[in-house]
Structure 1
Amino acid sequence: MIEQIFTEAFLEEWIKHNINDSKNELVILRTIIPWQKITSRLSRFYNIKKGRQAKSLRILLGLVIVSKLRLLSDEKVVQQAKENRYIQYFCNVPDKKLQTFINPSTICTFRKRIGAEGAAIIEKEVFNFLRKTGVIKNDAQLIDSTVLEDNIIYPTDVQLLYKSFAKMRQFAKQNDLPVWWDEKYIKKLWRMYNLAKSKEKINYLWDFYLVFAGTVNIFQNYLEEVPFLIKKLESGRQLSELLNLLDDQTVQKLRGQKNIKNRIVSLDEVDARPIKKGKSHPPCEFGTTLQVSFNRDGFMITTENFIGTPGDKTLFINTLELYRERMKGYAKKAVTDLGYRSLNNMKEGKEKIETIFMGRVEDVPDEIQSFCKKARSATEGFIAVAKTWRGFGRSLYKGFEGDKIWTSLSQLAYNLHKFIQLDTNEKIEADSLVKLGLYG
């Protein structure tokens, strides 16, 4: 059960006494975020009439935004809300029961409940507001791709096989099954592997695989013969499919094959893939492909996650369309690097956009070559800032859907931070807020 309409927690007297800095970023952002519109849309993820009364969506929404803006954990953002009046004001947390107003785990539960779709709703509503008020301008589209790294250790073939035993052990424990392999032998092999010299480590792959292959066969027999509950059986089948993929790629590795298609690099982050982005360091990153586009001011307009490494050439036209949908029109200029360059992209792109720069100065007239080269350099800077300071460097969420949640909330925080950096005369005027029903 959830309330669709929230009430302001603070009286004017409380605000005058506690909020002295009207230029504080949280005070400004509290004014521009369309709280009621977002909470009304998020309420559909709850049953309005049945069940236990849920925590205030307004408070949860505020805490999630602050956690991304300040790069705080759930525990830290709750702690700071108790100590910092500006965070308390931004999140609409009343003084009553302040010290026990929420458990940090509730924030995690909230993100899981709304999922990637709910996170996209939050980001979209704030983005649309900034676009409608003219803060985000539709001048030029700067496109590039990077890697959204997953939070995994550097993978090796032996390490993946060793991890598979932990996965099967967990399944056995959850279903009261006896372990069907020699645990002591596996641990002994693992110790020997870690003590071996680098050149000798490959020899242990055969030892691990021989035990692994027989263990997986027995596991599949269990799934066919034991009467598991439906959810447990489905979980077992998913694990079995994953282990079969691991079996196939290990056999290919043992045969000497180096380029293995759709290679698994983690049994926890099964969507992660080895991705090379043409840089000397690191030569390879493990995660998903992140396709982004900015406007010339550096606001992040579009983000997309892809499993594996789809070619930039194949993504270009779709990215133009996604940008048009977000900005309600094409930009006059599009700027990319040579990775997007193809005759088809140039031809189709010029039917929609006046000027397209794809890494070569001859693509555009002399008078705008300087603009395009500077925009291309700026794109690298925008991505560097996003990955270094705004949370795009590494996803802390599990699974592809979790990466999408992480991306949407990071994009929201990035754009809000960009808005705060604008000069005072570029901020949204009060009459714009009045027209949109958010102020006055």
Structure 2
Amino acid sequence: MYRQPSGQLKIEDFVLPFEGKLNSENRWVKLSKLIPWEEIEKNYAQLFPSNTGTEAKSLRIALGALIIKEKCGYSDRETVEQIKENPYLQYFIGFDRYQDDKDPFDPSLMVHFRKRLDKDTMMAINEMICQYEKHPVQAVEEGKNKEPKDPQDPGEPPVSGGGQEDRSKTTEPTHKGKLLLDATCAPADVRYPTDLSLLNEAREKTEAIIDALYHGNLGLKKKPRTYRKKARKHYLTIAKQRKPQTKAIRKAIGKQLGYVGRNLKTIDYLLSLEGHGRLNRRQSQHLETIRTLYQQQRTMYTLKIHQIDDRIVSISQPHIRPIVRGKAKASTEFGAKVAISMVDGYMVVDELSWDPFNESVNFQQAVEGYKKRFGYYPEAVLADQIYRNRDNRAYCKKHGIRLSGPALGRPKAGEAKRAERLEIQDMSERNAVEGGFGVGKRRYGLGRIMARLKETAESVIMLQFIVMNLEHRLRVLFYPFYIFVLRRLQGLLKQPISVLS
């Protein structure tokens, strides 16, 4: 059952057990005003169609707690403790009074919050936060610039000579602003996977599964052998070498494949017996993953190749895939690939996938999304070389959009220097999206996703962009104040010394 909160919580309504009141200039108070809680609540309430059962936590508690966790880098348990001790955090998640006698909720609920606020829901929330920059502000500016209407005016536009309507003043712009496109990888918290280490881990897990399935009442004379000591000795012989030779690695992989294959046959035999031991949910999931991993590794070993479709690189997180990025630090990363659009410092996720994809395919979708949000096409799209294929160039030419980078063919006479200057300017402006990725990976948790489930990891990735957009929005709000202070200081410094004294 879900009970939707009524009305927007005001800071004046928050009750403290001691004298005083909350400071309206606090960062959490300001941050709470930037989130459209009521609009999000309407969609969130649809996840609970039944009016029976235990009452669920409100959207503000769920989303607010997740934002606090990602913004401050807390663990789930530490997040609950911080909320319990801080009245500003309690106001941020929607409490109407300060309460420190009990925990606001159990820390285990944070996992359920991440599951309920899935990738699609988080994308919609991020869109709501980003769209404030254009629609409300644009409406206010249009209202200011609009002249008062004559009561006797029937509302028709003036007619010029020839009987044609003069719509020059009412025509809306068809191209405005710049769209920045790029993609990155959000690495998962896994060790660098090698074929030998994966097979060794699979062998150890199959040995534990055999231990769980076997017991003395199955009617067997003795427990099936696993050769675990011998297998581990063979693995450590190669793992401890600093730079093992290729032939030695291949030989060790072949041995581990033999041990894993033998264990899988033993598991199938034990499962065919009546009264065998039971596996828990995690062991059952690992067993299915190991079967697929064994088939992949056996195929690559037989064909002497190092690539295969849907390659598993983690037994505990089988959804992770290798993402080839070609970076100097690491040519291959292991996690989710994210394609984003940036407009005026706000980042919108266009696609989030665990499988590698070519980001240039999403080019036209991103441009059409820009038009859907703002009502017009961008004046220019700033993207790197992978986006500049012939299809995207033809699309931009059709819609009158300038695509960054050098044009195809020989430049016209007298335009080479201008095109070079424009290219340099586009590269400098496109650094904003690269800087956004850097901030997300160093300052926030985008550089290492700690969530282990596929659904919760996607929710965490989306939360990183939501938090970064909220931080950018806070900076935009404070920007006019900073400009005002700087101008005042500049004006005072220009005055004579006697006036300042």
Task: Report if TM-score (shorter chain) is over 0.5.
Answer: yes
**Taking structure 1 as reference, are residues 234 and 122 closer, same or farther at Cα in structure 2, changes over 3 Å only?**
same
| Aligned residue number for residue 28 of structure 1 | 30
**Are the counterparts in 2 of residues 157 and 250 from structure 1 also a CA contact under 8 Å?**
no
Q: 1:167 to 1:113 in 2, by over 3 A?
A: farther
Mapped partners of 1:353, 1:405: distance in 2: 36
CA distance in 2, matches of 1:258, 1:6: 58
Kindly provide the amino acid, as one letter, of the partner of residue 199 in structure 1. P
How much is the aligned-residue C-alpha RMSD, in angstroms?
3.7
Structure-2 residue corresponding to 1:276: 324
Could you say which residue in structure 2 is the equivalent of 1:240? 288
Residue of structure 2 in register with 1:139 after alignment: 177
CA 280–25 in structure 1, closer or farther in 2 if over 3 Å, else same: same
For residues 7-46 of structure 1, the aligned pairs below 5 Å read 8=9, 11-12=12-13, 14=15, 17-20=20-23, 22-46=24-48
1:246-285 CA-partner distances (Å, limit 9, x unpaired): 4223441454323444332111222322223222212221
CA contact (8 A) 1:302 1:326 kept: no
Match 2:255 to one of 207, 218, 239: 207
2:240 to 183, 195, 206: 195
Counterpart for residue 341 of structure 1? 388
1:304-383 counterparts in 2 under 5 A?
304-358=351-405, 366=419, 368-383=422-437
Query: How many Å apart are 1:209 and its aligned residue?
Result: 0.8
Structure 2 CA distance for partners of 1:184 and 1:245, relative to 1, 3 Å: closer
Q: Give TM-score, length-normalised by structure 1.
A: 0.82
Following the alignment from structure 1 to structure 2, what is the Cα–Cα distance between the partners of residues 323 and 243? 44
Deviations 1:62-96 (A, max 9, x none): 21122222232222222221222322221223323
> d(CA) in 2 for partners of 1:164 and 1:325?
48
Deviation per CA, 1:111-136, whole angstroms, max 9, x where unpaired?
2234333333433333344443239x
> Residue 337 of structure 2 corresponds to which residue in structure 1?
289
Give CA deviations for 1:204-253 in whole Å, capped at 9, x if unaligned.
Answer: 2121111112223444566677799xx98998488436523442234414
Q: What is the aligned counterpart of 2:471 among 417, 421, 426?
A: 417
Q: Match of 1:279, SS?
A: coil
Q: Which residue among 84, 87, 90 is the counterpart of 1:85? A: 87
The CA distance in 2 between the partners of 1:211 and 1:396, in whole Å, is 31
How many angstroms apart in 1 are the aligned matches of 2:65 and 2:281?
A: 37
Q: 2:458 aligns with which of 390, 404, 408?
A: 404
TM-score, normalised via structure 2 length: 0.73
Any gaps of 5 or more consecutive residues in structure 2?
A: 139-174, 217-222, 482-501
Q: Using the aligned pairs only, state the percent identity.
A: 23
Amino acid at match of 2:122: A
CA distance in 1, matches of 2:93, 2:29: 10
Measure the CA separation in 2 of the matches of 1:235 and 1:131.
51
Deviating more after overlay: 397-406 vs 169-178: 169-178
Query: What is the CA–CA distance in structure 1 between the aligned matches of 2:5 and 2:15, rounded to whole Å?
Result: 22
Which of 1 and 2 has greater Rg?
2
Task: Give a deviation string over 1:287-306, Cα, whole Å, max 9, x none.
Answer: 222111211x3210234222
| Residue in structure 2 matched with residue 61 of structure 1 by the alignment | 63
Q: Could you say if the C-alpha distance between residues 223 and 411 of structure 1 is closer, same or farther in structure 2, counting changes exceeding 3 Å?
A: farther
- Give the Å deviation of 1:377: 2.6
Query: Which sits farther off after the overlay, 176-185 or 258-267?
Result: 176-185
Aligned residue type for 1:73:
S
Cα pair distance change 1:101/1:386, threshold 3 Å: closer
1:299 aligned partner? 346
1:106 maps to which residue?
109
User: Could you tell me whether the CA contact under 8 Å between 2:254 and 2:301 is conserved in 1?
Assistant: no
Q: How many residues are treated as equivalent by the alignment?
A: 424
